[in-house]
Amino acid sequence: MKVTKAQAQANRTHVVETASTLFRERGYDGIGVADLMAAAGFTVGGFYKQFGSKTDLMAEASSCGLAQILAASDGEDLSVFLGKYLSREHRDARATGCTLAALAGDAARQPETVKAAFADGIESILAAMNKASGIADTHQARAQQIALLAQALGAIVLSRACPDSAPLADEILDACRQRILPPEINS
């Protein structure tokens, strides 16, 4: 039975979303094409009909994950979003959490297409942060948003590097929340 163009596109979208989740959970090298396609409910042969290479899928899945963080924060006050971002719940949700926190280290060792997906995603996140802050888009405001993103991202990465039950894991998140967030959000 022939698959319609609409169904083929839906299948591709499903594979990309599945890959986005699995890459965040296991890293780019933590899952092979065969296991990824099985998790999406397809055969490995279907992969090569949809993607030129695993790298192509990695770039597309990264863009998908980065778009998800933007969608989650759309219209949300920056302080409220950062409060959720710097939470234990987010830290523990590797598969559905921030693509930057899960894969930035891996992306640094990947081909340019994957790095370009991250650069585009970071630019989009910075633009959204600036819009949410209500500050005029200046060089100084951009520098502030970059520093804020780096601190929040670093807090998640450092906290995840500790054992889940370690007091240090929570201390890292608490310290960064106190430095970044206004007192009324931080309580």
Q: Give the per-residue pLDDT at 186.
A: 62
Q: Give the per-residue pLDDT at 135.
A: 79
Q: Give the per-residue pLDDT at 21.
A: 97
Q: Give the per-residue pLDDT at 75.
A: 80
Domains along the chain with CATH numbers: 5-180 (1.10.357.10)
Q: Give the per-residue pLDDT at 88.
A: 94
Assign 3-class secondary structure to the chain.
Answer: CCCCHHHHHHHHHHHHHHHHHHHHHHCHHHCCHHHHHHHHCCCHHHHHHHCCCHHHHHHHHHHHHHHHHHHHHCCCCHHHHHHHHCCHHHHHCCCCCCHHHHHHHHHCCCCHHHHHHHHHHHHHHHHHHHHHHCCCCCHHHHHHHHHHHHHHHHHHHHHHHCCCCCHHHHHHHHHHHHHHCCCCCCC
Low-confidence ranges of the chain (pLDDT < 50): none
Q: Give the per-residue pLDDT at 173.
A: 97
